[in-house]
Structure 1
Amino acid sequence: KETDRRPGDVLAEIHALVDEGVQEITLLGQNVNTYGVEFGDRLAFGKLLRACGTIDGLERVRFTSPHPAAFTDDVIAAMAETPNVMPSLHMPLQSGSDAVLRAMRRSYRSERYLGIIERVRAAMPHAAITTDIIVGFPGETEADFAETLRVVEASRFAAAFTFQYSIRPGTPAATMPDQVPKRVVQERYERLVELVGDVAWAENKRLVGTPVEVLFAAGEGRKDAATARVSGRARDNRLVHVAVGEGAERPRPGDIGTVEISYAAPHHLVADGGITGLRRTRGGDAWDARHTPQKKLIGLGLPKRVAAPAG
């Protein structure tokens, strides 16, 4: 059973985190679009997003995961109209085939899914959309798989988490007829991964020459030390590796700056032209405070007052 926390409790927790230097939060739910049903407000999630927009110091808000069957236009409007709600959306597809979605007992179909994406992009043209896809569900035919490829191309995903179906004992799918042979699943999986990479790369190439805002973070770039770059996430959650010129101010994790994209790869962007408008933030200050060595005070003891002997 899903249980909804009250908006006031959620917002109080966010305020407490921001007071500690947190700048980005992710609202998490099994299905965030049904948030509020338990306390009688079906528009509660959109209202919660808008309330996050009033919190001073909260730079970025994301959420996961919405369900295509319950995604509503008031949430799209809240995303588009609330500046600190990011233009990124992770919405599981699972399959582009209506027959497979029916077999999975999913309550949406591919055209509804594509309709949501169309409305999201109408409100936020530069939104980055990511998804989850399963290949080889029992009964999946080559025609079904072709439908998945069609939806991937139409959706222009920035990235996709792709999985091969495998039998899990105790699940309804484990005993379904028409289990797809492993070699067929593997072959389809490889074709899907290749297409997802091509689509993501094409989407990333659109950004070359454009400015993007980056929130810098520790641990995002494994090769930063070797390449003399720093890394972070764009507003749409794309990974960006940024060159810092010799003598230029180096951003701290938590700081925010604008860069121009000079190169695009399938899974990341590169900005070699330096950073403009670097903004030192409370998040950066908090990172400094956690990583600056603290002076240790060494007590030498306190003088003791000794009473003189009687006599």
Structure 2
Amino acid sequence: AQARDLAEAGYRELVLTGIELSAYGRDLPERPGLAALIAQVCRAVPGMRVRLGSLEPRTVTEDFCAQLAGLPNLCPHFHLSLQSGCDATLARMKRRYTTERYLESVELLRRHFDRPALTTDLIVGFPGETEGEFAQTLSFLQTCAFAQMHIFPYSRRQGTPAAGMPGQIPNGEKARRAHQGAELARAMEKSWLSSWMGQRVSVLFEEEKDGFWRGYTPQYIEVRGKGENLHNRVCPVTLTAVGEGVAFGVVTEEEAP
């Protein structure tokens, strides 16, 4: 009902998010799963985009994908929390998945959805992370070929279990690893954007800035183009050039279905 109200008010995209989105339904009487909720919302507002917030990797199963793959208004953009691409580091972080299980989720999403955007978060310099473990992480990132990554150096917080762990990494080394990870992230993002050049995509435009209208595709590619009053319109755009983290394109004025 809330989704329908928003659609009637003129909103074009709805983002389902939460502290731990993947836990949805566990505390409810009939324990409806997250996939059932997503499907119900998508069907309630067929003319509205529905995008998901961050997911715990183990949420993505064959059944989860099968329930959602046929929903035309679900954005094929999945943010799977990673934090490290090394199993030893993940164990110290008390993460409840391995790189093998994470990769299974990545492969399931690519099998069920057409060119989905996979994005993630990475923490570098967690206590005890050796140079070899960091190298494993970099290799795993390339295996996953993310469209975009957010990279953070580990920040020590008193009172947390990690703050008392041995093997605290010096700030300078954490900064170096964060920079190296960011360089890889930029290269993967450029490769992802370049793969879309010449393609005709659907863009929901949000605002005008520096002479361009800015908006996003269902895959969360930021697109900039020129046109007259494109605010809150969904338009077809042919992508023609790659910028720093963005794509440029030629806007077709007719609104996309």
Q: Is the structural similarity TM-score above 0.5?
A: yes
CA contact (8 A) 1:23 1:57 kept: no
* Equivalent-residue separation in structure 2 for 1:196 and 1:146 (angstroms): 14
Mean Cα deviation higher: 34-43 or 187-196: 34-43
Q: Secondary structure at the match of 2:174?
A: helix
TM-score by length of 2: 0.94
Find the partner of 1:241 among 224, 233, 254: 224
CA contact (8 A) 1:97 1:148 kept: yes
Residue identity matched to 1:277: E
Counterpart mapping for 1:136-155 below 5 A: 136-155=125-144
Please tell me the root mean square deviation across aligned C-alpha atoms, in Å.
1.8
Residue identity matched to 2:197: V
Q: Secondary structure at the match of 2:251?
A: coil
Runs of at least 5 residues in structure 2 that lack an aligned partner in the other structure = none
User: In the alignment, what sits opposite 1:258?
Assistant: 236
Q: Give CA deviations for 1:238-288 in whole Å, capped at 9, x if unaligned.
A: 1000133xxxxx2431111111110123411100x3315325x9xxxxxxx
* Equivalent-residue separation in structure 2 for 1:187 and 1:200 (angstroms): 20
Find the partner of 1:172 among 140, 157, 161: 161
Query: Structure 1 residue 32: deviation in Å?
Result: 2.2
* Equivalent-residue separation in structure 2 for 1:129 and 1:197 (angstroms): 14
Change (3 A) 1:135 1:67: same
Counterpart mapping for 1:162-201 below 5 A: 162-201=151-190
Q: Secondary structure at the match of 2:184?
A: helix
TM-score by length of 1: 0.78
Find the partner of 2:248 among 270, 276, 279: 270
Counterpart mapping for 1:15-30 below 5 A: 15-30=4-19
Query: Structure 1 residue 41: deviation in Å?
Result: 4.9
User: In the alignment, what sits opposite 1:130?
Assistant: 119
Residue identity matched to 1:154: T
* Equivalent-residue separation in structure 1 for 2:131 and 2:116 (angstroms): 31
Change (3 A) 1:82 1:57: closer
CA contact (8 A) 1:215 1:256 kept: yes
Counterpart mapping for 1:1-311 below 5 A: 12-39=1-28, 41=30, 44-56=33-45, 58-218=47-207, 222-223=209-210, 225=211, 229-244=212-227, 250-271=228-249, 273-279=250-256
Query: Structure 1 residue 99: deviation in Å?
Result: 0.6
Query: Structure 1 residue 31: deviation in Å?
Result: 2.5
Number of aligned positions between the proteins: 257
Change (3 A) 1:109 1:56: closer
Residue identity matched to 2:178: Y
Q: Secondary structure at the match of 1:197?
A: helix
Q: Give CA deviations for 1:141-183 in whole Å, capped at 9, x if unaligned.
A: 0111011111211111111111011211111111110101122
Higher strand share: 2
Change (3 A) 1:274 1:25: closer
* Equivalent-residue separation in structure 1 for 2:253 and 2:63 (angstroms): 35
Q: Secondary structure at the match of 2:39?
A: helix
Residue identity matched to 2:243: A
CA contact (8 A) 1:28 1:65 kept: yes
Runs of at least 5 residues in structure 1 that lack an aligned partner in the other structure = 1-11, 245-249, 282-311
Larger radius of gyration between Structure 1 and Structure 2 = 1
Residue identity matched to 1:148: T
Change (3 A) 1:80 1:237: same
Q: Secondary structure at the match of 2:14?
A: strand
Query: Structure 1 residue 97: deviation in Å?
Result: 0.7
> Identity over the aligned pairs, expressed in percent?
32
* Equivalent-residue separation in structure 2 for 1:255 and 1:39 (angstroms): 37
Q: Secondary structure at the match of 1:99?
A: helix
Residue identity matched to 1:264: V
Query: Structure 1 residue 40: deviation in Å?
Result: 5.1
